[in-house]
């Protein structure tokens, strides 16, 4: 089922999971990380899946990935693209700009915002995983040091991320880079760290459609499998370096 229609009437709220993150939000900090996150993307496009549809099996089946990518993700893209096509005010904007433009809007703007956020988050979700992924980030990667600096250890980071994932009804959990280092950021339903001044480095979809066919209601197993078998630390590394270049 495409969940595009059911999300409109659900309230959304955000939990920042570090004191640094909360401080950044409270003070409306427009730091380098936010500026980097606002950079223009290649435009409103539906990205290719970065691997074959069955490449994450047996950890995520071809059926799960196929439905999620071709129906859910494509559904969000089609909705947003359709609205953009009909409204000159939205045309020529990157996805990031569209999210910024429609944030806080009412009626149609709110709908565009919610779907644009889901499109943006899903664009990050697929490359956050890879075949033969999983495990701790290599000590050769800058993101390893950044994780240890902000959380104390990889183990502490993972524990925090899993705890946040288990608190949600439906939503998203991210590893983000912000003005005071890395943090875990979770959103209920449809929101993104982007407009809260954080750059997402990894995204995990914890809506049931992401895992139910393979794990039923065992979300903990899905989240653990993400870290053990799927997580793509090279993607997080590339996102971290993009942020730092700004
Ligand atoms: Fe999803």
CA of 140 to the centre of ligand 1 (A): 31
Per residue in 196-233, pLDDT tens?
778 999 999 999 999 999 999 999 999 999 999 999 99
Evaluate whether 174 touches 193 at the Cβ level (below 8 Å): yes
Looking at the whole model, is its pTM more than 0.75? yes
Q: How far is the CA of 162 from the centre of ligand 1 (A)?
A: 18
Give 18 Cα–ligand 1 centroid separation in angstroms. Answer: 25
User: What tens digit of pLDDT does each residue of 93-140 get?
Assistant: 999 999 988 988 777 788 999 999 999 999 999 999 999 999 999 999
114 occurs within a structural domain: yes
Q: Answer yes or no: is 151 within a domain.
A: yes
The answer to whether residue 83 sits within a structural domain is: yes
- Residue 72 Cα to ligand 1 midpoint, Å, equals 6
> How far is 102 from 82, CA to CA, in rounded Å?
15
- Has residue 55 been placed in a domain? no
Distance 118 CA to ligand 1 centre (A): 8
Check which CATH number belongs to the domain holding 84 and give it: 3.55.40.20
User: Is 72 part of any domain?
Assistant: yes
Task: Please tell me the total count of domains within the chain.
Answer: 1
216 in helix, strand or coil? coil
Structural domain includes residue 118? yes
Q: Is residue 6 a part of any domain in this protein?
A: no
**Position 4 in a domain:** no
Question: Lowest mean pLDDT: which of 23-37, 61-75, 83-97?
Answer: 23-37
Residue 149 Cα, ligand 1 centroid: separation in angstroms?
30
Residues ≥6 apart with Cβ < 8 Å to 154: 136, 137, 144, 147, 148
What is the 209 CA–ligand 1 centroid distance (Å)? 6
Give the distance (Å) from ligand 1 centre to CA of residue 150.
Answer: 28
- Residue 77's domain comprises 14-37+60-244
Strand partners, 202: 175
Distance 122 CA to ligand 1 centre (A): 6
Structure tokens of 171? 């939503």
């Amino acid at each position: 089922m495409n969940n595009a229609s059911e999300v409109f009437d659900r309230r959304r709220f955000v939990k920042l999971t570090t004191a640094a993150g909360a401080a950044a939000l409270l003070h409306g900090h427009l730091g380098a990380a936010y500026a980097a996150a606002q950079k223009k993307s290649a435009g409103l496009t539906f990205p290719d899946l970065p691997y074959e549809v069955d490449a994450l099996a047996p950890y995520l089946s071809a059926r799960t990935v196929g439905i999620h990518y071709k129906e859910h993700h494509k559904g969000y893209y089609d909705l947003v693209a359709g609205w953009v096509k009909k409204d000159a005010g939205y045309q020529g904007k990157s996805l990031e700009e569209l999210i910024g433009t429609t944030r806080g809007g009412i009626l149609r703007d709110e709908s565009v915002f919610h779907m644009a956020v889901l499109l943006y988050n899903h664009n990050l979700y697929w490359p956050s995983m890879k075949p033969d992924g999983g495990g701790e980030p290599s000590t050769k990667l800058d993101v390893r040091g950044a994780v240890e600096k902000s959380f104390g250890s990889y183990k502490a980071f993972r524990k925090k991320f899993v705890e946040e994932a288990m608190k949600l009804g439906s939503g998203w959990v991210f590893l983000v880079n912000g003005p005071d280092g890395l943090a875990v950021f979770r959103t209920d339903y449809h929101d993104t760290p982007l407009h809260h001044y954080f750059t997402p480095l990894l995204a995990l979809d914890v809506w049931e459609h992401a895992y139910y066919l393979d794990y039923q209601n065992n979300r903990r197993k899905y989240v653990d499998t993400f870290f053990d078998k799927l997580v793509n630390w090279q993607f997080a590394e590339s996102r971290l370096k993009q942020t730092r270049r700004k």
